[in-house]
Structure 1
Amino acid sequence: MFQTHPHHWLVALSLSLTIASCSSSPTASNNPPPATDASPSSKVAVVANSQPKSVVQAIADAATTKEFEALGGLCDPQKQNDGDTQQICDVATDAKNREKFVKFFGNMSLQGEAKISEDGNTAMVEILFGPEGDKAETINLIKRDGKWYLSSF
Structure 2
Amino acid sequence: MAYKKIVVAVDANDASSTLMEKSIELAATEGAELAVFHCLRQSTVAELEDRIGTFAEMDQSSFHRKRLDRNHAEVVHAEAWLQGLCILAKGKGIKTRTHVAIGKPGEDIVEFAGDLGADLIILGRTNRGTIADLLLGSASNYVVHHAQCSILLVHTHPSSG
Q: TM-score w.r.t. structure 2 length?
A: 0.24
**Larger helix proportion of the pair:** 2
